[in-house]
């Protein structure tokens, strides 16, 4: 790529086009076009990479979220199995999908763990490496280092969270690791739990104390921890009871959220219309029922309200902005289920690899 010469006349020097007018034009452009404009001149580069411009561009994208229901993210493997692509499809209000973008993954990736503001948090196939990747500008960063007592703890024994810290225009990764001298006999021994938070702007990890004790099991899933009320959330098994561990991204402090009246070990913790929710299917294979618990007032255990709908599915991925459920049917089809009309919309005929869903891609 040709470098911009110091002697080149800046694009914004023209008196006929004021600087703020040009910025208003640029802010309407998609990310792919902005990347191209960065190379036009130094003025373009500094304006487009300015944090204020980035925030305004994100805010405009947030406003456009009301025109659709979120994004379905998945991996696509080439026929020769040598290349994997990241695909992002937009979920439309009519229950259909529209292809938004496809990018070749530039590293050996196992799972997409988190997605926020176009930034992807992924884990490597070795179960130890972590990546932050911006596919729009084709750049990724390997996240290294740790404050844990046991270095290079295997990722399957860890739970993760990824969130945007709007107050500081920064991104944070939270890692909770199970450490034990007894190998992987998790259920037979009380585990030592350590946690750390990574801040992108400083490129550093910092140890954070976990206030809960006697933790026997951390429910580890390579999916995005739901981000609700400024906090990330994970289900854990502590003192022989199920509870939810929360992490306030702003003050970097752990807390506890009490679950619904009964211990539902099968449920998936998620976000439903901006609220913390738990979704699971009936216990019996023949029981075509879906249970949705929603905490309508954050932190108030009495505000958990249950809804039961007639629905059978094999996997649950997340909730759309309008509350529709993205599920995998028993036949392997990807579907959206409307809780109000009780209608099911088929959005994909075959199962996709490494599916995740983000109704609110911008926090």
Residue whose tokens read 């948090």: 121
Can you say whether the dihedral through the CA atoms of 147, 148, 149, 154 is positive or negative? negative
pLDDT tens digits for the chain (363 residues)? Answer: 444 444 444 444 445 667 777 777 777 777 667 777 777 777 777 777 776 777 777 667 666 555 667 778 887 776 666 677 888 887 777 777 777 788 888 888 767 888 888 888 988 766 578 899 988 778 899 998 888 776 655 555 678 899 999 888 899 999 888 775 544 444 445 567 889 999 999 999 999 998 877 666 566 555 679 999 999 999 888 777 888 999 999 999 999 999 998 766 678 899 999 999 999 887 765 568 899 999 999 999 999 999 999 998 888 988 988 899 999 888 888 888 999 999 988 887 565 656 666 665 444
Identify the bridge partners of residue 76 per DSSP, sorted by sequence position: 85
Report pLDDT for 261: 85
Euclidean distance between CA atoms 225 and 233, whole angstroms:
6
Calculated CA dihedral for residues 351, 117, 234, 214, nearest 10 degrees: 130
Residues in the chain: 363
Among 183, 208, 205, 182, residue whose Cα is nearest residue 194: 208
Asked if 131 and 114 touch (Cβ cutoff 8 Å), the reply is: no
Asked if 227 and 172 touch (Cβ cutoff 8 Å), the reply is: no
Among 276, 325, 315, residue whose Cα is nearest residue 299: 276
Helix (H, G, I), strand (E, B) or coil at 142: strand
Domain 106-257 classified CATH 3.30.365.10? Answer: no
Beta pairing class for 71-77 and 84-91:
antiparallel
- How many Å separate Cα 143 from the centre of its chain? 17
User: How many secondary structure helices (H) and strands (E) does the chain include?
Assistant: 4, 25
Asked if 19 and 12 touch (Cβ cutoff 8 Å), the reply is: yes
Helix (H, G, I), strand (E, B) or coil at 202: coil
Asked if 325 and 319 touch (Cβ cutoff 8 Å), the reply is: yes
Report pLDDT for 242: 85
Q: Can you give the residue ranges of every domain in the chain?
A: 11-49, 106-257
Euclidean distance between CA atoms 110 and 59, whole angstroms:
31
Asked if 336 and 313 touch (Cβ cutoff 8 Å), the reply is: no
Report pLDDT for 237: 81
Report pLDDT for 264: 66
* DSSP calls for 84-110: EEEEEEEE-TTS-EEEEEEEE-SS-EE
Report pLDDT for 90: 79
Beta pairing class for 334-337 and 344-348:
antiparallel
Report pLDDT for 156: 54
**H-state helical runs in the chain:** 19-26, 31-37, 42-48, 51-64
């Amino acid at each position: 790529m040709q470098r911009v010469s110091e002697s080149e006349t800046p694009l914004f020097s023209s008196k006929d086009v004021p600087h703020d007018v040009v910025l208003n034009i640029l802010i309407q452009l998609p990310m792919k076009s902005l990347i191209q404009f960065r190379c036009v001149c130094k003025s373009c580069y500094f304006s487009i990479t300015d944090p204020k411009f980035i925030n305004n561009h994100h805010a405009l994208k947030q406003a456009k979220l009301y025109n659709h229901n979120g994004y379905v993210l998945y991996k696509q493997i080439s026929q020769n199995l040598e290349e994997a692509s990241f695909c992002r499809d937009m979920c439309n209000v009519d229950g259909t999908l529209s292809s938004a973008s496809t990018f070749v993954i530039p590293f050996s990736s196992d799972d997409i763990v988190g997605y926020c503001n176009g930034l992807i948090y992924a884990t490597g196939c070795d179960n130890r490496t972590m990546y932050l990747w911006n596919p729009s500008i084709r750049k990724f960063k390997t996240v290294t280092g740790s404050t844990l007592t046991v270095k290079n703890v295997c990722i399957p024994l860890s739970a993760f969270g990824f969130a945007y810290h709007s107050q500081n225009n920064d991104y944070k990764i939270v890692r909770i690791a199970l450490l034990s001298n007894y190998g992987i006999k998790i259920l037979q021994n009380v585990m030592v739990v350590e946690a750390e938070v990574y801040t992108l702007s400083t490129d550093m990890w910092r140890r954070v104390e976990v206030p809960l004790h006697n933790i026997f099991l951390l429910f580890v899933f390579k999916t995005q921890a739901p981000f609700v009320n400024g906090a990330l959330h994970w289900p854990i098994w502590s003192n022989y009871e199920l509870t939810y561990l929360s992490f306030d991204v702003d003050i970097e402090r752990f807390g506890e959220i009490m679950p619904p009246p009964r211990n539902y070990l099968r449920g998936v913790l998620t976000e439903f219309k901006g609220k913390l929710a738990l979704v699971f299917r009936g216990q019996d294979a023949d029981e075509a029922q879906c249970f949705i618990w929603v905490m309508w007032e954050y932190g108030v255990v009495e505000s958990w309200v249950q809804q039961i709908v007639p629905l059978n599915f094999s996997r649950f991925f997340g909730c759309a902005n309008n509350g529709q459920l993205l599920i995998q049917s028993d036949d392997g089809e990807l579907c959206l289920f409307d809780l109000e009309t009780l209608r099911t919309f088929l959005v994909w005929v075959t199962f996709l690899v490494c599916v995740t869903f983000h109704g609110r891609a911008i926090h």
